[in-house]
Structure 1
Amino acid sequence: MESEVDRQIQRSSEVLERSRERYRSVRGRAKRQREAEVLRRLGRIAVADLAIIIGALIVGWVVPLGMGGALLVMAMLIAATLALAIFPVTPEVTTETLTQTPLKALPIQTEAWLERRRPALPAPAKTLVDSIGVRLETLAPQLATLDEREPAAAEIRKLVGEQLPELVKGYERVPEPLRRVERNGRTPDQQLADGLKLIDDEIGQMSAQLAEGDLDLLATRGRYLQIRYRDDDALG
């Protein structure tokens, strides 16, 4: 018969396994983002350098470049490569841009915004931000076909694009020495963690509701096909 100790060990193992899965997911997501960023930078560098070389060749056909021209072309190649390697490929996501972001791109943009603020957050909040990031990745493809005029779309935009960023920004406005000082029984660190946990759960519920809607459509389509095939058999 299973003892209480065995049950505790099993629950601890389940929690540990979920933590490992979440860590692998977060690590994989960060790796994919870094790889995509590197590829975008390399692509921009290749296009810019190719344009400089083609321009130099065209000018060289008309006017000999000489040593000075060759050095100038080399300097332009180096400058373009360094500039495009240093400066970000995409502009930084802000709370203002989030409000203007199309719904289908909102989860990924919000995730990128959160990722930049993650290092300054307390440890419990970092764990919740990782969990929210995983949920946002799940939510993103579900929004691809959701009409922005639907009530559900407005609720998702409000939660993901407004309330979540405002919660984090509100925490950032608290002076660092006061973030661990209790007020009304809770510290700002605890308030942030509680708020993130609530949003994490809410995003999960929204994703589940969208999935149920998709499953309902599939079930309806399946029943239609069954009736259609049955009618075809009857006619045959």
Structure 2
Amino acid sequence: MSTDVDRYIRDRVSPTLRRQEERYQSLSARARQRRNAGLLRKVRLALGALLAIIIASAATGFIMPLGTTGVMVALGVMIAAVLLIAVAPTEKRVRTEALATTELKALPLQTEIWLENQRRALPAPAVTLVDSIGVKLETLAPQLERLNPQEPAAQEVRRLLADHLPELVNGYQSIPAPLRREERNGRVPEKQLVEGLSVIDAEIGRMSEAMASGDLDKLATQNRFLELKYQEARELGQ
């Protein structure tokens, strides 16, 4: 059955992904940019903490001599502060359940970070689709800032990003790795994952186009077909 999966990926998925590859900036590249920015913030925070401790120690020394014990305490505080800052996570990890309560305008970025955390557990064709989804989320983010969260269209966006997408990915990950490329209940989990991510990728693009043209009613009604499509996603891990 793995041969069928390979053939499907080669004939149906790979050509499209190759054509799109030059258009997409890697999701992992943007993740590295966020991590680098986080590291820079940590360095600045550490330097600020050291400077504050030095100033406090100097001020204390004007009032009373620190002595050897005081100097050792100050050094200990410096080391502890640097260690605490160093071990703190560079980027906050996004939990699946947090997506449902994330503010609409922040949802694309939080979904992108969540997807980045899932990369290692996904097959190569799915990772390429995740990159494509990440690029579309970047385009979608400023559009959602102008959208009323109570609009039916906004609810469809939230349902896609906070419900359908996590269900698809988590359903796949819940299947033992040796079984992911084997037929299961008449379907192959890896093929289902790739198909589902392809649909989500296209749907996010369509949503962005609908919002750009101001056709919010169309966005809210055409997304209904996903209810049937993602019934399969819900069944992946069962």
Question: Which consecutive unaligned segments of at least 5 residues does structure 1 have?
Answer: 1-11, 215-236
TM-superposed deviation, 1:197: 0.7
TM-superposed deviation, 1:14: 9.4
Q: Does the alignment pair 1:74 with 2:72?
A: no
Identity among equivalent pairs (%): 51
Q: TM-score, normalised by structure 2?
A: 0.77
Query: Could you list the per-position Cα deviations for residues 50-93 of structure 1 after superposition, in whole angstroms to 9, with x for gaps in the alignment?
Result: 33223323332333212222222122212211221222144321
Distance 1:70 1:38, change over 3 A: same
Q: Aligned partners of 1:170 and 1:77: how far apart in 2? A: 46
Q: Aligned partners of 1:15 and 1:122: how far apart in 2? A: 14
Q: Quick check: which has more Rg, 1 or 2?
A: 1
Provide the secondary structure at the position in 2 that maps to 1:21: coil
Residue of structure 1 in register with 2:174 after alignment = 173
Provide the secondary structure at the position in 2 that maps to 1:164: helix
TM-superposed deviation, 1:31: 3.8
Q: Aligned partners of 1:163 and 1:113: how far apart in 2? A: 14
Q: Aligned partners of 1:167 and 1:61: how far apart in 2? A: 64
Q: CA RMSD in A?
A: 2.3
Q: Does the alignment pair 1:209 with 2:210?
A: yes
Residue of structure 2 in register with 1:191 after alignment = 192
Greater RCO between the two (CA within 8 Å, min separation 6)?
2
Q: Does the alignment pair 1:21 with 2:55?
A: no
Q: Does the alignment pair 1:36 with 2:37?
A: yes
Q: Aligned partners of 1:143 and 1:26: how far apart in 2? A: 20
In structure 1, give the amino acid aligned to 2:30.
Answer: R
Query: Could you list the per-position Cα deviations for residues 86-119 of structure 1 after superposition, in whole angstroms to 9, with x for gaps in the alignment?
Result: 2214432101211111111000001001101101
* Count of equivalent residues: 202
In structure 1, give the amino acid aligned to 2:155.
Answer: A
- The 8 Å contact of residues 27 and 130 in structure 2, kept in 1 or not, is answered as no
Query: Could you list the per-position Cα deviations for residues 122-172 of structure 1 after superposition, in whole angstroms to 9, with x for gaps in the alignment?
Result: 111101111111111111111112111111111111111121112111111
Q: Aligned partners of 1:13 and 1:174: how far apart in 2? A: 27
Query: Could you list the per-position Cα deviations for residues 25-48 of structure 1 after superposition, in whole angstroms to 9, with x for gaps in the alignment?
Result: 546423421222122222332333
Q: Aligned partners of 2:183 and 2:171: how far apart in 1? A: 16
Residue of structure 1 in register with 2:223 after alignment = none
Q: Aligned partners of 2:22 and 2:83: how far apart in 1? A: 38
In structure 1, give the amino acid aligned to 2:145.
Answer: A
- The 8 Å contact of residues 35 and 90 in structure 2, kept in 1 or not, is answered as no
Residue of structure 1 in register with 2:236 after alignment = none
- The 8 Å contact of residues 27 and 116 in structure 2, kept in 1 or not, is answered as no
TM-superposed deviation, 1:15: 6.7
Q: Aligned partners of 2:46 and 2:90: how far apart in 1? A: 11
Provide the secondary structure at the position in 1 that maps to 2:23: helix
TM-superposed deviation, 1:196: 0.7
Q: Which moved more, 1:45-54 or 1:205-214?
A: 45-54
Q: Aligned partners of 1:186 and 1:126: how far apart in 2? A: 20
Q: TM-score, normalised by structure 1?
A: 0.77
